[in-house]
Amino acid sequence: MSELSLPFAKTLLGRSALLASLAVSQMTFSASASGKTADLSVSLPACDRTIADAFRPDANTRVVQVAHFSKGAPLTFEPEHPANTPIATNDVCMVKLLVGPGNPGPAGASSTSEGIGIEIWLPERAIWNGRLHALGGGGWQGGPAGVAGAIASPQAAMVAAAEGAVSSTTDTGHTVMSGSFAVLPNGAINSRLWTDFASRAIHEQAVKSKALAAYYYGRPVRHSYWEGGSTGGRQGLNLAQNHPEDFDGIIAMYPALNWTRFITSELYPHIVIQRDLGGRALTKGQLDLVSNAAIAACDSVDGEHLGYIIDAASCRYDPVRDKAVLCIADGGTNSTDTCVNSAEARALNKVWFGMTSDGSAPDPVMDNGWAKGWDNAGRALAEKGNRRHWFGLTRGTTLYLDYPGFEGLMNPDHPFSIATHVVALEMRDPAIAEPLFRSAAGSGQSGWKNLTYAKLADAYAQGLALQPQFGQINTSNPDLGAFRKRGGKLLTWHGMADEVIPVQGTIHYYNRVASRMGGIDRVRDFYRLYLAPGLGHGTPNGTSNYAAVIPNFEPGQMYAALTAWVEQKTQPPGKLILSVGQGPASRSMPVCPFPEKITYVAGDPKQAGSFICSRPKP
């Protein structure tokens, strides 16, 4: 969910004029375009004012900027730039668009928008491979995709230059990096920008990227792909649900599905701290002590500790029963300043179990929070009067992070800021949010600290009731029939130690799709889900064991599998091998297409050959 989720983070660069020494030519244009149509039979347009004068796919779209970056040029408009600024590996053409109508309002208000910004990168004609490889975003997204003089996505530029595919990204209709765009100055819901953020912007991104490619190259896109994680993963599944014609293949990684459900529940750990612990948060040392104890209790394979948990669903570690983490005063044996008392141990069990309406949690021996509490239609029983609302993080996942804007759910310094924004929007009270939330209707004052369990449950219910006004942001429709019918292919992977989005929510959605569409085997013909042990929210290690050596995907591994599936009509991808390190220190691990599970058979548990993928018995 974080705006730092790589490789789809938004980088906000400055807007100063480019010096000639950067070997980049660029022109910025006024709001209006001439509307002339290029005569492709005579010549193809250059990467210059020609595009601004002639490219007008509809009355709502205008070109903001065209810029050419030569091979070897830094991908920036700043005359002074860091040494690690990406360098164009081939000539590329950047075109920025604004697609109206946007949302009117007072200048400077976060809810005021000129429209949807789209940044499109075109490789030189000699290397274009006929593909569109569009990228999703993270968090609330936002950024300068429609702003002249700034680069929103160096990643998209590198895709165009290195892969030879047209690439693009969008600001989803707003430039701010918080949820304050979603409320109007009078306090009302900004439904127009909610819709742009939830679904319209990514559809416009697809349509306009294809139109510009056809105009620039004189021939249409042959194959179109979407790739995104977190918000970008949710966007990919939204496209499959609502615009199945847009993409031939979609990679939806660690997707932010059930947006209001899981994000509201992200605030739950800090409500537990406020209500059960008097506002005294556990220290980072305490959080690591207990989480690492959970790993040690559940990571053993053939008698060897891997340092991360393969089967998170079976881990029932309970710190209330673990004397090694409990303080001596609470019957334990731990005399260090990182020991936990009984109330703190119970609080961690609540966080792992997930959000309830009354702050309760069962004994983890009976229910560890993995899968119970759902009816056959995939609805949380809490919505029928029971207490369970959503999942918690898996045991052994780190409960704090030190990245700005990507804080972890029990960070003692502050709550996950996006969660406070969502709850403020659900309850129509900006003061509930953290101070980063600044709008003309009011700003955040950390009022979340006063919420009870019941009030948070009310916010959760409001999030569901407000879906029509929120642009159906939850993206939870399990009907992918139209996407399957047109031959679309879909791949998802989710780290089982995701620090932000519980992996169980993705499994929950996949099972709902299977229930709706004829069973798991029929769904696996076009949609495959992989669960990766130890990996986090796009991070190579999501566990509290920071020294763990965890096999990971190779760059482009999922994309290669998807393009082969689509273009070469191969069989659906089966077992994938993750790896890390070289030589004797290397490790590998298979990931299996759900519902198959990683099963040890014999040999070195640090090597993939020691495991098979097996299907659990019903």
Neighbours of 196 (CB within 10 A): 28
* Cα 471 from Cα 311, distance rounded (Å): 36
Mean confidence (pLDDT) of the chain: 91
| Cα–Cα distance measured from residue 229 to residue 254, given in angstroms and rounded to the nearest whole number | 6
Domain boundary among 360, 392, 414: 414
Q: Tokens for 180?
A: 């304050």
Domain identity same for 214 and 272: no
The least confident of 21-25, 185-189, 400-404 is 21-25
Is 362 found in the same domain as 305? Answer: yes
Q: What is the mean predicted confidence (pLDDT) over 572-594?
A: 95
Percent of the chain residues topping a pLDDT of 90? 86
Same domain, 24 and 137: yes
Nearest-angstrom CA–CA distance, 305 and 396: 13
Res 1: pLDDT? 37
Q: 165 or 374: whose pLDDT is higher?
A: 165
pLDDT at 379 over 80: no
Nearest-CA neighbor of 36 among 215, 299, 283? Answer: 215
The whole domain housing 340 covers: 268-414
Task: Classify residue 124: in a domain, yes or no.
Answer: yes
Tell me the pLDDT tens digit for each residue of 284-317: 999 999 999 999 999 999 999 999 999 999 999 9
Kindly state whether residues 55 and 198 are assigned to the same domain.
yes
The verdict on residue 446 lying in a domain is no
Region 256-275: mean pLDDT is: 98
The SS3 call for residue 397 is strand
Is residue 77 classed exposed, middle or buried when 0-12, 13-18 and 19+ CB atoms within 10 A define those classes? Answer: buried
Question: What is the separation, in whole angstroms, between the first and last Cα of the chain?
Answer: 33
What is the tens place of the pLDDT at every residue in 531-578? 999 999 999 999 999 999 999 999 999 999 999 999 999 999 999 999
Q: Closest Cα partner for 476 from 222, 196, 259, 243?
A: 259
pLDDT of residue 386: 57
Q: What six digits make up the tokens of 142? A: 């936002």
Longest dimension (CA), the chain: 85
105 assigned to some structural domain: yes
Which of the listed residues 414, 444, 463 is the one where a domain comes to its end?
414
> Higher model confidence: residue 155 or residue 408?
155
Asked if residue 207 and residue 100 are part of one domain, the reply reads yes
114 and 31 Cβ atoms separated by less than 8 Å: no
Kindly report which listed range (26-35, 48-57, 168-177) carries the lowest average pLDDT score: 26-35
Regarding whether 207 and 272 lie in a shared domain, the answer is no
pLDDT range class, residue 381, cuts 50, 70, 90 = low
- Provide mean pLDDT across the span 484-502: 97
Q: Does residue 445 form part of some domain? A: no
Residue bearing tokens 């979603």: 182
Cα(248)–Cα(237) distance, integer angstroms: 13
**pLDDT-derived band of residue 584, with 50, 70 and 90 as boundaries?**
confident
Name the residue among 326, 15, 298 with its Cα closest to residue 150: 15
Report how far residue 281's alpha carbon sits from residue 340's, in angstroms, rounded to the nearest whole number.
11
ω into residue 540 within 30 of 0, thus cis? no
Would strands 597-600 and 587-591 be described as parallel, antiparallel, or unpaired? unpaired
Model confidence pLDDT, tens digit, residues 425-457:
999 999 999 998 999 999 999 999 999 999 999
Strand order in the sheet with 167-170: 24-28, 61-69, 92-99, 116-123, 167-170
Check residue 43 and give its pLDDT: 87
Is residue 75 situated within a structural domain? yes
Closest CA to 461 of 550, 383, 352: 383
Same domain, 113 and 197: yes
Instruction: Indicate whether 495 pLDDT > 70.
Output: yes
Residue 588 and residue 597: Cα distance in Å, rounded?
16
Contact 69, 87 (CB under 8 A): no
- For the purposes of burial, counting CB atoms within 10 Å of the CB of 568, is it exposed (0-12), middle (13-18) or buried (19 or more)? exposed
Per-residue pLDDT at 373: 57
Rounded alpha-carbon distances, angstroms, from residue 39 to 45, 50, 130, 515: 9, 12, 21, 51
The model's pLDDT over 91-149, given as tens digits with 9 standing for 90+, comes to 999 999 999 999 999 999 999 999 999 999 999 999 999 999 999 999 999 999 999 99
d(CA 416, CA 412): 10
Task: Confirm if 567 and 223 have CB atoms less than 8 A apart.
Answer: yes
- Which of 414, 430, 462 is at the close of a domain? 414
Q: Do 216 and 272 lie in a common domain?
A: no
Q: How far apart are CA 222 and CA 499, in angstroms?
A: 37
CA 613 to each of CA 306, 307, 428, 437, 536: distance values in angstroms, whole numbers, following the listed order: 18, 21, 48, 46, 22
pLDDT of the residue at 291: 98
**pLDDT tens profile 234-256:** 999 999 999 999 999 999 999 99
Q: How far apart are CA 60 and CA 175, in angstroms?
A: 18
Q: What are phi and psi of 343, to 5 degrees?
A: -65, -40
pTM, to two decimals: 0.92
Do the domain assignments include residue 3? no
Does 197 lie in the same domain as 108? Answer: yes
Domain shared by 181 and 34, yes or no = yes
Domains in the chain, number: 3
Task: State the DSSP H helix or E strand holding residue 516, giving kind and residue range, or none if neither.
Answer: helix 503-516
Question: CA–CA separation, 372 vs 391, rounded Å?
Answer: 10
In a domain, 454, yes or no: no
The reply to whether 348 and 407 lie within a common domain is yes
The answer to whether position 227 is within a domain reads no
- The set of residues, in sequence order, having a beta carbon less than 8 Å from that of 315 and lying 6+ positions away, is 294, 297, 298, 309, 368, 394, 395, 396
CA 184, distance to chain mean position in Å, is 26
Helix (H, G, I), strand (E, B) or coil at 288: helix
Which residues are paired to 566 by β-bridges? none
Strands (DSSP E) along 318-462, which ranges?
438-439, 442-443
**Band of residue 30 on the pLDDT scale cut at 50, 70, 90:** very low
b/e 527-557 (16+ beta carbons within 10 angstroms → b): bbbbbbbbbbbbbebbbbbeebbbbbbeeeb
Angle at 232 between CA 81 and CA 491, to 5 degrees: 125
- Residue-wise pLDDT for 382-392, tens only, equals 555 558 899 99
**Cα distance between residue 290 and residue 38, in whole Å:** 65
The CA distance from 361 to 347, in Å, is 9
3-state secondary structure 36-50: CCCCCCCCCCCCCHH
Q: Within this chain, do residues 492 and 568 fall inside the same structural domain, yes or no?
A: yes
- Rounded to an integer, what distance in angstroms lies between the CA atom of residue 607 and that of residue 590? 9
| pLDDT top residue among 383 and 213 | 213
223 close to 123: Cβ distance less than 8 angstroms:
no
Alpha helices in 277-327 (DSSP H): 284-298
Reduced to 3 states (helix: H, G, I; strand: E, B; else coil), residue 582 is: coil
Cis amide linkage into residue 7, ω under 30° from 0: yes
